[in-house]
Amino acid sequence: MLTNIQKELKNLSNKEYATRLQKYFKTGVGEYGEGDIFLGIQVPAIRKIAKKYRNISVDEASELLKSQFHEERMFSLFALVDIFKRSNDAEKKKIYALYLSNTKFINNWDLVDASAGRIVGAYLLTRDKKPIYVLASSKNVWERRISIMATSYFLKYNIFDDTLNIAEMLLYDEEDLIHKAVGWMLREIGKRDFELEEIFLREHYKSMPRTMLRYAIEKFPEEKRKYYLKAKL
């Protein structure tokens, strides 16, 4: 099955699009995606192939997670998310453990965002949340992004404390990719409880990175948004 999947993906590859993706995902020397290799395939096409091969096993999917090609790793994560949703508790635990032991391959923001909530967040929803706090303290930017993005699943159930706690932990993070993710999750809280987001912002907006603030207040009424941005100066 793996050979067929890889063949189908490579048949869809596009060198020109791959070059564009490698620039977009910052794969140059010293950039956050340094060394990543793209085939040049659009995400809907990867999803379509993942749906076609939804009978893939966890072990087979894990092999693709270690691929040098970004799109094969993306396929793997789509497959693991789908298997996770259909699995019993033992299988979910296996996928969750596999995910956390292979974070070095989940090494760009799109890979994190497509999977962290649906696997890590979903598994920890009714369990001890300590693992995401450990990730939030990691030196690895992608593990820190996994920590905050995992909480996106909790927000569906109006569980906000972990998002706010981790947002506070990441408040002074040096990476712009973390600023964006934290701001995004704060904005999601605001969609469900505007007052709660404002309580957090009133305490922290002066010290949080401007990008984080801009993401957090993106859906605020214009006057209130201008107030926060002006007061931040």
Cβ 147 vs Cβ 135: under 8 Å: yes
Does pLDDT of 145 surpass 90?
yes
Sorted by where each starts, the structural domains of the chain and their CATH numbers stand as 1-107 (1.25.10.90), 115-233 (1.25.10.90)
The per-residue pLDDT for range 97-140, each reduced to its tens digit, is 999 999 999 999 999 999 999 999 999 999 999 999 999 999 99
Q: What is the mean pLDDT of the chain?
A: 96
Q: Which residue, 95, 134, 135, 139, is CA-closest to 115? A: 95
Q: What's the pTM value of the predicted model, to 2 decimals?
A: 0.95
DSSP letters, 75-106, are HHHHHHHHHHHT--HHHHHHHHHHHHTTGGG-
Q: Give residue for tokens 């009978």.
A: 55
Does pLDDT of 233 surpass 70?
no
The per-residue pLDDT for range 191-230, each reduced to its tens digit, is 999 999 999 999 999 999 999 999 999 999 999 999 888 8
Does pLDDT of 231 surpass 90?
no
Give Cβ neighbours of residue 91 (< 8 Å, ≥ 6 apart). Answer: 58, 83, 84
So what's the pLDDT on residue 232? 64
The CA distance from 124 to 226, in Å, is 37
The CA distance from 83 to 173, in Å, is 33
Could you tell me the two tokens for 188?
A: 């999601």
So what's the pLDDT on residue 2? 86
So what's the pLDDT on residue 205? 93
Give Cβ neighbours of residue 42 (< 8 Å, ≥ 6 apart). Answer: 17
Q: What angle do CA 59, 125, 129 make, to 5 degrees?
A: 95
The per-residue pLDDT for range 26-65, each reduced to its tens digit, is 999 999 999 999 999 999 999 999 999 999 999 999 999 9
Report helix, strand or coil for 37: strand
Is 8 buried (19+), middle (13-18) or exposed (0-12) by CB count in 10 A? middle
Query: If you average pLDDT over residues 154-173, what whole number do you get?
Result: 98
Cβ 174 vs Cβ 145: under 8 Å: no
pLDDT over 70 for what percent of the chain? 99
The CA distance from 40 to 67, in Å, is 15
Query: If you average pLDDT over residues 6-30, what whole number do you get?
Result: 96
The CA distance from 167 to 186, in Å, is 8
**Ranges of H-type helices in 156-218:** 161-169, 176-192, 194-204, 210-216
Helix axes 194-204, 176-192, angle to 10 degrees: 140
So what's the pLDDT on residue 90? 97
The CA distance from 34 to 27, in Å, is 4
Could you tell me the two tokens for 55?
A: 């009978």
Across the strands, what pairs with 69? Answer: 37
Report helix, strand or coil for 139: coil
Query: If you average pLDDT over residues 134-155, what whole number do you get?
Result: 98
